[in-house]
Amino acid sequence: RRKPPTWVKMKTEDVCDHICKLAKKGLCPSQIGVTLRDSFGIPQVRTVTGNKILRILKANGLAPTLPEDMYFLIKKAVAIRKHLDKNRKDKDSKFRLILVESRIHRLARYYKRVKSLPATWKYVSATASALVA
């Protein structure tokens, strides 16, 4: 389906402006999509504008430095690590942290391959909280 639904009355420029406004407020691309869907009645940005939200953000220089899924995995790892500082005996959390961090490393390998992350980027657990602060 290439065309927007007939009941969508917003123009491409208006949608792009809304996306940029929401990005400047600090929303991530998926939250922008949810807001546009719930508040403005735009079912899919791609059908209305011809571009995805992240591409529009990149064109306007508002794209996040870290990819969204990587950001939330790092945030989860930081939260688990903080929990483990208080609860040292929690073996299950320690195991889950290993799983989350291995997922981060695997995703980093992918993003380096597709050039979304610089080749020198490395996940370091000690400095991870600064990345998501």
Evaluated on CA atoms 130, 33, 53, 67, the torsion sign reads positive
pTM above 0.75, yes or no: yes
CA 40 from chain center: how many Å? 21
Residue 1 is predicted with a pLDDT of: 65
Residue 132 is predicted with a pLDDT of: 84
Angle at alpha carbon of residue 52, lines to 46 and 54, rounded to 5°: 160
Residue 48 is predicted with a pLDDT of: 93
Distance CA 87, CA 32 (A): 36
Residue 2 is predicted with a pLDDT of: 79
Residue 107 is predicted with a pLDDT of: 96
pLDDT along the chain (133 residues), means of 10: 86 94 94 95 93 95 93 96 96 97 96 94 91 81
Residue 99 is predicted with a pLDDT of: 97
DSSP character string of 42-55 = -S-HHHHHSS-HHH
59-65: long-range contacts (C-beta < 8 A, 24 or more apart)? 60/16, 60/20, 60/23, 62/20, 62/23, 62/24, 64/28, 64/29
Residue 45 is predicted with a pLDDT of: 94
Residue carrying the six token digits 């889950």: 96
